[in-house]
Structure 1
Amino acid sequence: MSVSLQVIYPATERSHFDMEYYTETHLPLIDPQLGAHLENVVVTKGISGPDSTPAAYHAIATLIFADADAFTAAMGKISPLVEDIPNFTDVTPQMMIGETI
C-alpha cells in the first residue's frame, strides 16, 4: 500500500508565507532529494474557505511513496527541505503520514 506525507501550512492573520519562494525555490528541491522514492507530488494553494472566508491553510503538499520502504528511504534525505522552511514561512507546518486508500 502506498504511503503519503502531507505537509500542511496553517494560515493565521499574522502568518507569513512567500508563495513565490515556495513554488520557485522550495518545491524544486523535492526532486533532487526525494525524487527516486516518490510516485507523485500534489500541492494545493489555499484560496478561501466556505462562504468566502479566508483559507485555513496557505498550502498543503501531498507526497506519495510506493510503500513504507520508499517512505523510510526518503525521510533519510528530507533534512534540506525541512531546513529551507524558514526561508518562506514563519509557521510550523503540521505533518501527517498516512496510507492512501
Structure 2
Amino acid sequence: MIKVSVMYPNSASAKFDIDYYCNTHIPMVVELLGDALKVGAVDSGLAGGAPGDTPAFIAMGHMTFNSVEDFQAAFGPNAEVIMADLANFTNVEPTIQISEIRI
C-alpha cells in the first residue's frame, strides 16, 4: 500500500479555505479517483512542536492506494481538473510525497 500526502506549507502570506477544501475539493477528488482510492483523510494544522510555534503545514490531505501505478492511473487523466481547483481554496503550492506504508 502507498500513501500520497498533499501538504500545504504554512507562511505569513498563505491563504487556505479549509471549509472549501473539505466540503468541495476533497469530494470532487474522491469522485474523480474512483475505486483506486482506498482511504482518504484531511489534517488541519493546529500548532508546531514547541509552545507558541505555528504549524509547518496549514493542511494535509492523505490518500491511500494499492500501488503507485494505481495512483498514477487514477490521477493522471484527472490531474488538470484537480490542480485547476487549487486556486479556489489556496494560494499555496502544495508539497506532494508518495510513501510506502510500512506499518
Do the two structures share a fold, i.e. TM-score over 0.5?
yes
Whole-angstrom distance in 1 between the partners of 2:22 and 2:75: 21
Alpha-carbon offset, residue 23 of structure 1: 1.3
Alpha-carbon contact 1:34-1:78 (below 8 Å) kept: no
Shift of 1:25: 1.0
The alignment status of 1:58 with 2:58, answered yes or no, reads: yes
Please report the TM-score for the alignment, with normalisation by the length of structure 2.
0.88
Q: 2:22 touches 2:42 (CA, 8 Å); kept in 1?
A: no
2:98 maps to 1:84? no
Aligned equivalents of 1:19, 1:64: Cα separation in 2: 21
Deviation at residue 72 of structure 1 after TM alignment = 2.1
Counterpart mapping for 1:2-81 below 5 A: 2-50=1-49, 51-76=51-76, 77-81=78-82
TM-superposed CA distance for 1:66, in Å, is 1.0
Quote the offset at 1:100 in angstroms: 1.2
Q: Percent identity?
A: 31
Superposed CA RMSD: 1.2
CA contact (8 A) 1:17 1:89 kept: yes
In the alignment, residue 3 of structure 2 is paired with which amino acid? S
| Distance in 1 separating the partners of 2:16 and 2:23 | 13
Superposition misfits of 4+ residues, deviation over 4 angstroms: none
Cα contact 1:4–1:99 (8 A) shared by 2: yes
Tell me, in whole angstroms, the C-alpha distance in 2 between the residues paired with 1:35 and 1:89.
24
> Which residue identity does 1:89 align to in structure 2?
T
Residue correspondences, number:
100
| TM-score after normalising by structure 1 | 0.90
